[in-house]
Every structure is written in C-alpha cells, then in structure tokens.
Amino acid sequence: MTTLLVRNIDLLATFDDGRREIADGAMLVRDNAIEAVGTTAEFAASGADEVLDLSGHVVMPGMVNTHHHMYQNLTRVMVQDDELLVWLKTLYPIWARLDDDAIRISARVAMAELIHSGCTTSSDHLYILPNNCTLDATIMAARELGLRFHAARGAMSRGESQGGLPPDSCVENEDAILKDAERLIGAYHDNSRHSMSRIILAPCSPFSVTPDLMRNAAALARRHPGVNLHSHLAEELFEEKYCHEIYGMRPVEFAESVGWLGNDVWFAHSIFMTSAEIDRFAATGTGVAHCPSANMRCGQGIAKVREMLDKGVKVGLGVDGSASNDTSNMFMEARLALMLQRVAPHHYLSEKPGGRGGFGGTPSALSAREALEMATRGGAALLGRDDIGYLAPGMSADFIAVKRDQIGLSGTQRDPLAALVLCGPFKVDYSYINGREIIGKGLFRAFDVEAALAEHAATMDRVYEQ
C-alpha cells in the first residue's frame, strides 16, 4: 500500500456534504482512495510515501461528463448553420464509413481533451456502430489513458424504410444489439466501489429505435446491478412532433410507456419539458444531462435547469458530441450552464412588484458553485456513483488542480473557486484519477499527444477519402 500527501493547497474545495472550502488544505490518499481531508497543519506528522506541494493551486473534485459522442471529433466544424435535423441527415452518411480503428483513435483524443479540462469520469454514448465498430475500442482507450469510464452501448434500429430518421445503412438488428449488450456487460461491467469500468444501455432516441428495443434494453439492464439506462429525450421539436404522430403521445409520456423513468435512467438535453413532466422526473428519480454548448450550437433552446434543480431533479453536465459543441471542455460547460440560465426568460420574476416585465425583475439563476456542483456531484448521481463527485474520506482519489498564477486568473483572490467558472475555461495542472497521476505540471505522464493527433489526422483522411 502506498500513501500520497497533498498539502499546502491554497483552496481545497471538497464539495462534500458540508460543502467545505479549506484554506491551506491537505488530503491524504492511500492507494486509490482518500483517507483524510483537512488543513496542512493537521497532517504535519504524516509520514506519507510521497508528498505533493500544491501551494498556489485550487483543488476540487474531478468533473463528471455525463453525455458525449466521442467519435464525432472526426466531423468537427461541419454543418455550422443548420438545425439538428439537417445536421443529422448530413452527418449520418459520413459516420456510416467509420470502422473500429476510427472509433479507437477518436476516443483516445476525446478522452485526452476531457482530462485536460478537468474531467476524471466520463460516459460515451456510441450509438452508431457500422462496419466492424465495437464498444470495446473505447473501453480499451479509457484503460490506456486512465479515465474512469462508463461506456454506453447505444443503438439505432429503426431506419428510414421503417419510419425512422437514420438511413438504413446506419441501423442494426435488434436481437444483435441485445446480444452484444449482454456480452459487454459480462466482459467489462464492474459494479464494485471505485470501479473504473461500467456499461450503460443506451438506445439512441425515440425516432431511431422501436418501443420493443427500449423495453427489452430496460429489462436487460435491470437484470444486472449498476447497469443504468441513457438516451436522448425532448431534445428537438421535430422529436415531439414525431412522438405525437407515431406514438400519439409526448416524448416523456412515451419514455414512461416503455419503462424508461426511474432512478437508473438519465436523458440528454430534455429541453422541451413541461413543469408537470419535470415534476414526474423528480418523483421517479429520473435525471438529466444538461448540454448547454450543444443546445446553443444547434439553436435548440434552453433547458429549464433552475426549475429542475429546485424540484429535486438530478442534473449533471455533458459536453455532447464534438460535432455539435465542437469542443470537450468541462469548465466551459459549467460556465455556459451558468450564463445560459441567466438569460432564460422563465427564470425571471417579471410579476414581482417593481419588476420591469419581459426580461426584467429578479433573476433566479445558477451560481458558480451550483454549476460546479452539477459538474461533480450532479454527474456522479446520474451515473449512480456514491464514490466520486466530492472529496472526503472513503471517496475515490479523483481530483484536479488549477494553478492560480496565470493571466486569466489575475484579480480573482476574492473567490478563486468561482473564478474557475466565471473566468474560464482552463486546463488543469494536475489530474489524479483513482489515485494515479495522469497529468502533472500541465503535461500527460504517459500519453503521447503529438502521436495521437497525427494518427487522428491520418484517420480523418482515410474516412473522408472513402
């Protein structure tokens, strides 16, 4: 067993149950878990095997990314000015050319980008698996980089010929989807505490799969402890129209009809929800991955995050795919989540005496700490984790450090934690995942970024030449 003492931390933001923020903080890590948290003075007699001095740094829990499509960094900056429906129809044929090697290298690059922006746990929703593509490639990439990873076995099974949106070249047979999901659970799902690998079942959307696949995926997941469920829902108005025309109900009602509400379920986006539907999410424990960058990029709308939080809905943050963002920076998502709620019309109390009406009145918006809490504790709750998301004894040793002495943080002495959101986005100087140093002094310890970028560029050339 090995011990690590992290000391002299300018500000240690624990996000624990007491939301402690400790000046001159310290942590004692034993192997892959936190043993103690406090001030540097309290650990003066500690005889740790290794000591890390983080004076001049802000330390906080590693962030949790709850929605991504990593393969999409092969199609960045495309379809820049059109709505989601056009965006999808343009990109589906390109994604149909992907192979397992393209999935592997795009995942490696996406994971490195996430880690550098403060993410220590991520999910990835891989819903298009043409040719010989497998989820195994992404899982192997996570193991290589040391990222705590929840791999979502996505799927599309309802092509254009069956009344769905995706072309038939992008869909799979439903029996094969379920068989592969069972294989992945057996091979990679680890429900133990501090687990580095878990499997999620994730049919893509109401317009790309059948109700039978939704029901059967839910039944399969619930036979295996810790296998959660994920999908897109209430993301676009055309989805709402589709559900009315095909199923005779709204998207949330459709989800409930196929057994997809519960504390083991979270949906991406969930923009177009009524207050009654938000109440239903709160009552059933159903969660939401808020993706502000992608929602803005595609002009979709503003999710009612303030209302969701006030009603007790679990909300985390997701960067979404790198073709609809087009970056993977968790500090940026936290910042935009905060900003976007402050311009949302439904968060202004225009009826308050003295209010100006319209966009006037008193804002009931997100704070910087709430945005960071969604990125940490909120994301952990969506993934069903009780061992990540905050820094306290017994928790996984997943933490990040940002150096305060840099131009973008000048003048932030009054509140260096809020500065990580309000002044960002930033790259981390240190990242520890499961007690292992992944980034030190701003550099990856065991990942060749230049080689990965060269392989990524060559893969793009090969995919686009087909």
pLDDT at 355 over 70: no
Supply the pTM of this predicted model. 0.94
Mean pLDDT of 448-457: 95
User: pLDDT at residue 386 above 80?
Assistant: yes
Q: Choose from 81-90, 261-270, 300-309 the range with maximum mean pLDDT.
A: 261-270
Residue range 191-215: average pLDDT? 97
- Contacts of residue 280, Cβ cutoff 8 Å, sequence gap at least 6: 252, 256, 261, 286
Which residue would you say has higher pLDDT here, 301 or 398? 398
Tens digit of pLDDT for each residue in 49-88?
999 999 999 999 999 999 999 999 988 888 787 777 787 7
Instruction: State the CB neighbour count (10 A cutoff) for residue 2.
Output: 11
Rounded average pLDDT over 147-170? 92
Quote the pLDDT of residue 1.
Answer: 81
Q: Per-residue pLDDT averaged across 91-107, rounded?
A: 90
Q: What is the pLDDT of residue 345?
A: 62
pLDDT exceeds 50 at position 394: yes
Count other C-beta atoms under 10 Å from residue 19's C-beta.
12
C-beta of residue 151 within 8 angstroms of C-beta of residue 143:
no
Supply the pLDDT for residue 363: 46
Q: What is the DSSP string of 251-292?
A: HHHHHHHTT--STTEEEEE--S--HHHHHHHHHHT-EEEE-H
| Predicted local distance difference test score (pLDDT) of residue 351 | 35
d(CA 435, CA 438): 9
Token pair listed for 404: 């305060």
∠ CA 272-274-280, rounded to 5°: 110
Lowest mean pLDDT among 110-119, 147-156, 195-204, 230-239: 230-239
The secondary element (H helix, E strand) that includes residue 431 is: strand 430-433
User: How many Å from the N-terminal Cα to the C-terminal Cα in the chain?
Assistant: 51
What average pLDDT does this structure show over 244-266?
97
Predicted pLDDT of residue 238: 86
Confidence of residue 201 (pLDDT cuts 50, 70, 90): very high
pLDDT for 202: 98
Residue 180 pLDDT level (bands cut at 50, 70, 90): very high
**pLDDT value at position 364?**
55
Extended strands (E) in 204-349: 228-233, 265-269, 287-290, 315-317, 348-349
Average pLDDT value for the chain: 92
Read off the pLDDT of each residue in 361-376 and give the average, rounded to a whole number: 82
- Reply yes or no on whether the pLDDT at 347 is more than 70: no
What is the mean pLDDT of the segment spanning 20-44? 96
Higher-scoring residue by pLDDT: 160, 404: 404
Confidence of residue 350 (pLDDT cuts 50, 70, 90): very low
Question: With 80 as the cut, is the pLDDT of residue 108 above it?
Answer: yes
Q: Give residue 398's pLDDT band: very low, low, confident or very high (50, 70, 90).
A: very high
Which of the two residues, 162 and 14, has the higher pLDDT score?
14
Reply yes or no on whether the pLDDT at 29 is more than 80.
yes
Predicted local confidence at residue 356, as pLDDT: 30
pLDDT for 308? 96
Q: Average pLDDT, stretch 456-466?
A: 87
**Of 90-99, 340-349, 405-414, the least confident:** 340-349
Which domains, and CATH codes, for the chain? 3-62+389-444 (2.30.40.10)
- Tell me the mean pLDDT in the region 167-173: 88
CA angle centred on 401, ends 397 and 405, rounded to 5° = 165
278's CB contacts (< 8 A; 6+ apart) are 304, 307, 308, 311, 313
CA dist 283 and 261 (Å) reads 10
The pLDDT > 70 percentage for the chain reads: 95
Output the pLDDT for position 89: 80
Which of the residue ranges 15-19, 159-163, 185-189 would you say has the lowest mean pLDDT? 159-163
What's the mean pLDDT in 125-136? 92
Average pLDDT over residues 288-307: 90
Nearest to 71, CA basis, from 336, 427, 375, 324: 324
Q: Which residue type is seen at 28?
A: L
Q: What is the mean pLDDT of residues 265-287?
A: 97
At residue 96, does pLDDT exceed 90? no
pLDDT higher than threshold 90 for residue 376: yes
